[in-house]
Homo-oligomer: A and B are copies of this chain.
Amino acid sequence: MNEEHYTLYPIGVVRSALTSLEAAPPQGEEGAPEAWLQIFAPVAQALAGITAGDELVVLTWLHRARRDVLQVHPRGRRETPLTGVFATRSPDRPNPVGLHRVSVREVTGRNVRVAPMEAIDGTPIVDIKPVLGHVDER
Q: Which residues of A contact B (CB under 8 A)?
A: 1-2, 4-11, 27-30, 39-40, 42-43, 45-50, 54, 56-57, 59, 61, 63, 70-71, 81-89, 93-95, 97, 99, 101, 124, 126-130, 132, 135-138
| Other-chain residue from B2, B9, B11, B28 in contact with A136 (beta carbon distance below 8 A) | B28
Copies in the complex: 2
Task: Report chain B residues within 8 Å CB of A63.
Answer: 6
CA distance A4 to B9 in the complex (A): 7
Q: Are B137 and A137 in contact (CB under 8 A)?
A: yes
CB A21 to nearest CB in B, in angstroms, measures: 18
Q: A1-B10, A46-B86 are in contact. List 18 more A-B contacts (CB 8 A).
A: A1-B9, A1-B42, A1-B43, A2-B10, A6-B8, A8-B97, A27-B132, A27-B136, A28-B132, A43-B70, A45-B71, A46-B71, A46-B84, A54-B87, A56-B86, A59-B59, A93-B127, A97-B97
